[in-house]
Amino acid sequence: MSTITELLAPAGDYDCFLAAIHAGADAVYLGGNYSARAYAKNFTQDELLQAIDYAHLHERKVYMTLNTVMKDEELNRIPEYLLPFYEAGLDGVIVQDIGLFTLIRTLFPKLSVHASTQMTVTDLEGVKLLSDLGASRVVLARELSLREISRIHDRIDTELECFIHGALCYSYSGKCLMSSMIGGRSGNRGRCAQPCRLPYNDSYPLSCKDICTLPILPKLISAGITSYKIEGRMKSAGYVAGVTGIYRKYFDRILQAPDAPYAVDPDDLSDLISLYTRGGNSDGYYEQRNGRDMITLEKSGYEKSDAKEHDAIYDTYTEPSKIPVTIDASFCPGEHSKLTLSCERASVTVQGDVAEAARNRAMTEEEIRKQLVKLGGTEFDAKKIQIDIHGDVFLPVSALNALRRAATDALKEQLLRPQRRTAAKDSITGYAQFKPETERAKEIATDKILLHVQVLGQEQAKAAMDTNLVDRLTLPLALYSDLKEVCRAWSCDRNGSEQKELFLSLPYICREDYFGINKAEWDAVLNDPLIGGFVISNYESLEMVRSCRDKKILADLHLYAMNHPAVETLQHLGVTQTTVPVEGNKRELIERNMTGEDLIVYGRLPLMVSAQCVQKTLNKCMHEPGFLKLKDRYNVKFPVYHDCINCCNVIYNSVPVSLHDDAKLFSDLKIASARLAFTDESAAFTADLIRRFSGLLLDQITFEAKYPFTRGHMQRGVE
C-alpha cells in the first residue's frame, strides 16, 4: 500500500483556512486575485501571508490557485503579485495557463508548480511532458479510473493529486466553453455560471452528483495518489471542518493499521453527506467509465440536501491547536533578565531589562510565572516552565511582558526562517523582457491566407475535396483509413497550385494508453508522407507528436494560447501553429498582435467534452457514433456527438460561429489560415460554404449568411 502523503483541503476565506488546519488538513489550497473560483471571497495579501506563516508554524503547507487562462496584461502583473508570497515561503502554485507555468518556472525556480486539473491531463504522456517542463505535481483529470491512476503512478515519479470529495463537473475540466459561450462567464476565467445544472430534454442529464470516496479510500491509497483533494472553495467553514475532520479520522485509521479490515461507520458517512450534497453522491469515475447513477437526472444540481447545522461539527474541529513550548527564565539583580523558549523544532534565548535589587518586596516566582505563561495571543502553549531567581529581584510587569513577547517573536521567526526565500527582484521587475527560448520559429507563411477545412464525417470530406478549393483538409484520425486513397489522389492534384496539406485531428481526450493500444495504426500514420500535420487538443498528443520534425502541429482551441508566453512555450514544445483564442474579443485579439495563427471563421464550437454519455443517460448505449439533440428550457437545441470510438461526448453550440461579414478582421489578425470546422452539416452545405469563404479570402467578397450564426466573443469577449 502506498504511503499517504497529504490530505488537501479548500479555503475560500481565512475562517475556512483555520477550519481546515484545525481539522487535520496537511495542506490547504486557496485563492488570491487570480483563481478558478473568482466568486469566492478569497484572500487579501495580508491574510494570505498570515495563512502561510500560520501553516508553516504548524508544519502544514499552503498552495495558491492561479488556475485560470490569462491575458497578457494580467500575466504582466503576476511577478510582482507573487513576489511577497514567494518570499514568505508559499509551498506551491496550481496553474492552468502554460504561459504562466513557464513564467513561474523561470522567475521563481524554487517554487513548486502543480499542473491544475484544468490542464486536462489524462495519461502518462501528459504527465511526462509537464514533468519535463518542471511540474512537481499533476492534478489528474477527475474522469480517470483507479486502474489508470495506478498505471501512471507505476511509470513516473511525479506527484499525483486527485479529488476525493465534492462537486463534479460534467465536462472534462479545461474543456468547457458552455458558460462562456452562452452567457459570457468563462469557466477558464473562474466565472462558470454552471449551465450544466439546468434542465435539458425536460430532465437534468448534465448535472453530476457530488463525489464521496470515503467508502473506497483504501483503494485510492493503493493506486498511488500523493495528494487527496477535497473540493469546496465556495463552501462554509463548517463544511470544510466537517469534511476534512472525517477524512482525517479515516486516513489516520488506515495509517495506524494498514492491514486491518476497513469499514466506515454509518453515522460518519451520514454526517459527511449531510454537510452538503447535490442530488446525491457517487464515488465518481474511479470504478466506472460513466453512468446514469452519477447524474442527478430528476432534479436540479443546484438543489442541495437538507444539511445539519454546521456549528456543532465546526466546533468539534476548531479548537485552537498550539505548539507546546518550554520556558526557562533566569533573573539576577544587576544582570539582564533571560528567557529561553524551546519547542521540538527550535530554541531561542532573549535578553530583557536589567533586574533590579528589590528595595521593598521582592517578586515571587508565582508573580513572574503568571506573566510569562500569558501566551494566549500566540501560537504557543507553555507545557513546562522553569524559573531561576538569584536573590531578591524586581522587574516591572511591562518588562516581563516585553521579555515574553521578544521570546515568542524570536521563536516564531526561527521556526519560519527555513521557509523564507529571496527572489531576484531585478528579474521580477524586468519581466517585460522575459521570453522563453524557442526551438524554432513559426513556419507558416502569412502572405496568403490558407483555406483550412476540418470535417467530422466522410461525406463532408469528399465534398470538401471535390471543390478543389481547400488548401488544408483535416480529418479525424479514425476516418483516415477509409479515405486514404481518395486523399492521396486529392493531395497530388495540384492544378498548378501548391501542394495541398492533409492533417489529422487527434481525439479531444487520449487516455487508457491510447497511443500504446493503437501503436500499429499510430506508427503507420507517423511514417505516412501524405500526412502533413496534426491538429491536437491535449498534452498527451503533443508529447507524442512533438518529436516528428517533418510534421506540422496545430494546437487547437483547447490548448489555450491566450498570451504570448503561452504561444512561445507551445512553440518550444514543437507546435508550429496555434489557434486564435475563441474567448478573446476583436480588440483584445488585435492588440495581442500575434502572427501566423489559425482562425476558426466558421463552425459549431465544442461547448463540452465529457466522459459521460447523453445517449446512455437518456436512453441506452447504442455503441455507434452519431448525433442527438439536447433541448434547453428555451427550446434551443444543442447537437451532441457521441464518439463511441473514444467513448466521449462532445456537446456543440446550438449555432455556429461565422465571421463571413468581416474580411478585414483576417488581415488585422495577421492569420495564416482560416478554418471552417464542420460537424453535422450536409455535404451540399459543406461544399457551398467552402465556395463562399474561398471567394471571401481571395477577393474579400463578404456574403449574407442564410443560416443562423453567432460572432462568438468577437464583440463582447469574457471578463
pLDDT in tens, 543-570: 999 988 889 999 999 999 999 999 999 9
At 389-398, the pLDDT tens digits run 999 999 999 9
Residue 404, judged by CB atoms within 10 A of its CB (0-12, 13-18, 19+), counts as buried
Question: What pLDDT score does 314 carry?
Answer: 59
Confidence of residue 447 (pLDDT cuts 50, 70, 90): confident
Helix/strand number for the chain, H first, E second: 24, 31
At 320-379, the pLDDT tens digits run 678 999 999 999 999 999 999 999 999 999 999 999 999 888 999 999 999 999 998 899
Distance CA 245, CA 264 (A): 14
- Regarding predicted confidence, which is higher, 679 or 306? 679
What is the torsional sign of CA 129, 96, 182, 197?
positive
Distance CA 320, CA 687 (A): 70
Question: What pLDDT score does 702 carry?
Answer: 84
- Regarding predicted confidence, which is higher, 302 or 576? 576
Q: Could you tell me which residues come within 8 angstroms of residue 184 by beta carbon, excluding any fewer than 6 positions away?
A: 713, 716, 717, 718, 719
Beta bridge partners of 354: 336
Q: In this model, does residue 305 exceed pLDDT 50? A: no
- Regarding predicted confidence, which is higher, 161 or 234? 161
Q: Record the pTM.
A: 0.94
Distance CA 76, CA 361 (A): 66
Question: What pLDDT score does 300 carry?
Answer: 80
DSSP string, 323-344: EEEEEEEEE-TTSEEEEEEE-S
At 76-90, the pLDDT tens digits run 999 999 999 999 999
The grid cell for 275 is 454537510
Distance CA 208, CA 167 (A): 8
DSSP string, 544-576: HHTT-TTSEEEE-TTS---SHHHHHHHHHTT-S
Question: What pLDDT score does 431 carry?
Answer: 61
Share of residues in the chain with pLDDT > 90 (%): 80
Question: What pLDDT score does 654 carry?
Answer: 98
Distance CA 100, CA 565 (A): 7
Kindly calculate the radius of gyration of the chain based on its CA atoms and give it in whole angstroms.
Answer: 30
The angle formed by the CA atoms of residues 435, 80 and 88, to the nearest 5 degrees, is 120
Distance CA 564, CA 569 (A): 8
Q: Kindly report the length of the chain.
A: 719
CA 114 to chain centre: 9
Distance CA 717, CA 719 (A): 7
Strands (E), 343-479: 347-354, 356-357, 380-389, 393-394, 450-454, 472-476
Distance CA 59, CA 27 (A): 9
Q: Of 161, 141, 149, give the one whose Cα is nearest residue 229.
A: 161
Query: Which domains are delineated in the chain?
Result: 6-168+211-317 (3.20.20.380), 323-419 (no CATH), 446-603+656-699 (3.20.20.60)
The grid cell for 462 is 469528399
Are 542 and 575 a contacting pair, CB within 8 Å?
Answer: yes
Q: In this model, does residue 309 exceed pLDDT 60? A: no
Are 99 and 75 a contacting pair, CB within 8 Å?
Answer: yes
The grid cell for 528 is 505516412
Question: Exposed e or buried b for every residue in 188-223, given b needs 16+ CB within 10 A?
Answer: bbbbbbbbbbbebbeebbbbbbbbbbbebbeebbeb
Indicate the helix (H) or strand (E) that contains 407.
helix 397-416
Amino acid (1-letter code) at residue 718: V
At 600-646, the pLDDT tens digits run 999 999 999 999 999 999 998 888 899 999 999 999 999 999 999 89
The grid cell for 549 is 520534425
Q: In this model, does residue 50 exceed pLDDT 50? A: yes
Amino acid (1-letter code) at residue 288: Q
At 484-538, the pLDDT tens digits run 999 988 988 655 455 799 999 999 999 999 999 989 889 999 999 999 999 999 9
Distance CA 114, CA 139 (A): 7
Are 69 and 98 a contacting pair, CB within 8 Å?
Answer: no
**Average pLDDT score over residue span 137-147:** 98
Helix H, strand E, coil C: the string for 96-124 is CCHHHHHHHHHHCCCCEEEECHHHCCCCH
Q: What integer best gives the mean pLDDT of the chain? A: 91
Question: What pLDDT score does 443 carry?
Answer: 47
Distances (CA, A) of 36 to 16, 70, 81, 373: 17, 11, 17, 44
Helix or strand or coil: residue 681?
coil
At 350, phi and psi to the nearest 5?
-125, 155
At 173-190, the pLDDT tens digits run 999 999 999 988 998 998
Distances (CA, A) of 261 to 1, 214, 253, 297, 348: 14, 14, 10, 35, 46
Question: What pLDDT score does 589 carry?
Answer: 96
